[in-house]
Amino acid sequence: MEALWLSTKLATCVAAILLVIGTPVAYWLAYSNWRGKFLLESLVALPLVLPPTVLGFYALVAMGPRGPLGKLWFALFGHGLAFTFGGLILASVLYSFPFAVQPLINSFEGVDRKLLDASVVLGAGSLRTFWRVILPLSLPGVVTAAVLSFAHTLGEFGVVLMVGGNLAGVTRTVSIDIYDRVQSLEYGAANRMALVLLAISFAVLSVVYAVNRRVWAPWPAK
Amino acid sequence: MGAVAGEVNATVLTAQIRKERRGAGAASFVLDVSIEASPGITILFGASGAGKSTLLDCVAGLARPDEGRIASAGDVLFDSARGIYVPPQKRRMAYVFQTLALFPHLSAEENVAYGLEDFPEEERREQVEAILKAFGVEKLRKQRPGEISGGEKQRIALARSLVTEPRVLLLDEPLTGLDAELKAAIVDDLRAWNTAKRIPILYVTHSREEVDALGERVIALDNGHVVSAGAPMEVLNAPRRKRLAQAAGFENLLSATVLDLREVDGVMRIRLGESACEIEVPLGYAAAGSRVQVAVRAGDILLATERPHGLSARNVIEGRMISLEQRGTMVIARVDCGVTFVVHITPGAVRALELTAGRRVWLILKTHSCHLVD
């Protein structure tokens, strides 16, 4: 149960952080006319294709005592970043980034441009246009982004193992816990935990589909 | 800055705009116009693709011209030479789009209040209430655009734009799809509103009917250029460009060869197409032997079943009726004179003259009903 609580806490933090930093990134990707935009798009999509171990490996190196992030963290807080809950959040944010940003981009792009023109001509700047027009009309996308990054973080394994290790109460998430129990042949306990994860994931995805009422494509054909 | 003639009248909108659009694949398009709009309705008329909407976008600030100057009520909104570009949210323009662009998640009332965010609550409510009343849609205040009918949506879009006390109103075919009666009612409300405010209204349309109904002043655009400007009758009855002629409802658009010029009479003779058919048209900028286009309205052609005598009309052409097709209260006749003419006649005339396909007929064209097109 401790692992489940930890996973939920992690997924909630990650989803919240991703909404905050994913929104400006998605806004920029949806509306910028910069020719080099494809580069950032590729970067954002990278976690979709990379094996979690690769991402986890680089995250671990960066967070290690000699890595740039690790050094910075140590200077700020007096302890390392790797194998901590904070490190886990950071790695998970990277790993789930496309799952938050992509639905946001899709929904921002789906807002009729004429509505934005209308808003601007009526005297609203881009910030007010965003709050009053784009965001309310993109709510299904925001819900999808939150729910998918939550669910994706809840089920991650490779990155957590690489960056967090397996410390009970600190970094031992549900998926690691299940792996542990299988290793030690506790199939019954593993099964119970796996069922809980399955149920949560199903419930969460149902929310996404109910909100959108249509099949959501993680990476729409363009 | 120096006193520029156009700025003496404080409410005049002036715009000199040059904007190039390099379309992928399609030929590049250049908008190059200089217009002036005084208080009242100025119609921007032209076929689709003539640059009307681009012009409005530039005036509103949604598009940035490559070169030029836009000024309204004495304020410079854009000046490429001096590096001035006032962003759209600071221009105090009102723009009603063809799609209306009402915010679907806001009620009619909230839509109208959108541009008044800087006003205190109380004042905002009063103004919204007043304008909803002025446009006869106060009963719909709590409804969302999805629940409102076409004509009423148009009224709410107008109210939303006008409540902000704009200095210019830009209308991009806002009344398309409405029946004539509803259109006239909305235009009346708009006119009533503008008698008090006296701002320039730029009204984009490609519909000739709307020009006739609204007309105070027309600016005709074709392919990014102003081809003519003035009162509706002058502009539309003398089309100088082929596409404008088509848009203005000239059913007969024929290519012809200039035979000879008669400067004293102010006319020239042309031969239509490859036929033997020769007619007299007003003198134009053309040399003998050159190719021209001539436009004639189907309703400007008379039809006779005997060769007429003693007419002032100079052009009498013999031909044969190809077909008669009834369209509502009008019959469209096609007549072969070597080239095919379309002639509009009434069903009564068809009966009285006992017109049938194959019958020999004569077409009568007044010289000044034949318009030369560039």
What is the C-alpha to C-alpha distance for residues A12 and A96, in angstroms, rounded to an integer? 12
Quote the pLDDT of residue A213: 65
Q: Which residue of A has its CA nearest to B89?
A: A123
Q: What's the CATH architecture for B250-373?
A: Beta Barrel (2.40)
Nearest chain A alpha carbon to B160: A122
Q: How many CB atoms lie within 10 A of CB B27?
A: 7
Q: Are B273 and B256 spatial neighbours (Cβ–Cβ below 8 Å)? A: yes
Nearest 5°: the CA angle A107, A112, A115 is: 120
Residues of A in contact with B158 (CB under 8 A): none
- Min Cα separation B105/chain A (Å): 7
Per CB distance under 8 Å, which residues of B are interface residues toward A?
A: 60-62, 87-95, 97, 99, 101-105, 114-115, 117-118, 160-161, 164
CB atoms A133 and B97 under 8 Å: no
Q: How far apart are CA B231 and CA B26, in angstroms?
A: 34
pLDDT in tens, A24-76: 999 999 998 888 889 998 999 999 898 888 888 888 888 888 888 888 888 88
Domain residue limits, chain A: 2-111+140-212
Give CA–CA dist B358/B371, Å, rounded.
Answer: 28
In this complex, how many residue pairs, one in chain A and one in chain B, have their CB atoms less than 8 Å apart? 60
Q: Which phi-psi region, left, alpha or beta, contains residue B72 (left: φ > 0; alpha: ψ -120 to 50)?
A: beta
The minimum CA-CA distance between B54 and chain A, rounded to whole Å, is 13
Q: What is the pLDDT of residue B299?
A: 87
Q: Between the ranges A103-112, A201-210, B6-15, where is the mean pLDDT highest?
A: A103-112
* pLDDT of residue B156 exceeding 70: yes
Q: Is the pLDDT of residue B312 over 70?
A: yes
CB spacing of B60 vs A121 below 8 angstroms: yes
Q: What is the mean pLDDT of chain B?
A: 85
CA distances from B170 to A136, A206, B95, B184 (A): 27, 46, 5, 18
Cross-chain Cβ contact B97/A114 below 8 Å: yes
Q: Indicate the CATH number for domain A2-111+140-212.
A: 1.10.3720.10
Cβ distance B153 to B185 under 8 Å? no
Closest CA to A15 of A216, A210, A208: A208
Q: What is the pLDDT of residue B2?
A: 40
CB-CB under 8 Å, B114 with A137: no
pLDDT for res B4:
43
Q: Is the pLDDT of residue A127 over 90?
A: yes
Q: What is the pLDDT of residues B71-110, one digit of tens each?
A: 998 889 999 999 999 999 999 999 999 899 999 999 999 9
Tokens 């946001």: give the residue.
A104
Span of A137-151, A191-205, B95-109, B233-247 with lowest mean pLDDT? B233-247
- pLDDT at position B17 is 93
Å between B97 CA and nearest CA of chain A: 8
Chain A: give the shortest CA distance to residue B228, in Å.
29
User: Which of B5-9, B36-40, B72-76 is least confident?
Assistant: B5-9
pLDDT of residue B243: 63
Highest mean pLDDT of the ranges B104-118, B211-225, B300-314: B104-118
- Predicted confidence at residue B78, as pLDDT, reads 94
Confidence of residue B127 (pLDDT cuts 50, 70, 90): very high
CA distance B138 to B189: 14
Q: Nearest Cβ partner of A136 from B87, B105, B161? A: B105
Tell me how close the Cα of A80 comes to any Cα of chain B, in angstroms.
48
Residue B5's pLDDT band (boundaries 50, 70, 90)? very low
CB contact under 8 A, B89 and A115: no
B260 SS3 class: strand
Asked if A137 and B62 come within 8 Å (Cβ–Cβ), the reply is: no
Tell if the CB–CB gap between B160 and A122 is shorter than 8 Å.
yes
DSSP string, B303-339: EESS---S-S-SEEEEEEEEEEEEETTEEEEEEESSS
Q: Give ipTM to 2 decimals.
A: 0.79
User: What is the reported pLDDT for B25?
Assistant: 52
Domain B5-239 class?
Answer: alpha beta
Q: Say yes or no to pLDDT of B3 above 50.
A: no
Matching residue, tokens 């995805």? A205
Q: Which of B102, B105, B156 to mutate to test the interface with A (most CBs of A within 10 A)?
A: B105
pLDDT of residue B163: 92
Return the top range by mean pLDDT from A70-74, A215-219, B134-138. Answer: B134-138
Residue of B nearest to A132 (CA): B114
* Closest approach of A136 to chain B, Cα-based (Å): 7
Domain borders along chain B are: 5-239, 250-373
Between CA A49 and CA A42 the distance in angstroms is: 10
pLDDT for position B246: 65
pLDDT of residue B177: 74
Give the one of A114, A115, A121 whose C-beta lies nearest to B88's C-beta: A121
- Structure tokens that stand for B62 in this block: 């949604």
**Residue B238: its pLDDT value, please?**
62
For the residues B176-190, what does the mean pLDDT come to?
81
Q: What is the DSSP string of A22-89?
A: HHHHHHHHHH---TTHHHHHHHHHHHHHS-HHHHHHHHHHHHSTTSHHHHHHHHHHSS-STTSHHHHH
Q: What is the pLDDT of residue B24?
A: 55
> Between A132 and A83, where is the model more confident?
A132
pLDDT at site A30? 93
Q: Helix B180-197 and helix B121-134: axis angle, to 10°? A: 130
Residue in A35, A116, A119, A122 to test binding to B, most B beta-carbons within 10 Å = A122
Pairing of strands B360-365, B315-327: antiparallel
- Helix, strand, coil percent content, chain A, rounded in steps of 5: 75, 0, 25
Q: For B216-236, what is the mean pLDDT?
A: 81
d(CA B158, CA B197): 14
Reading the block at residue A68, the tokens are 């740039």
pLDDT at A220: 37
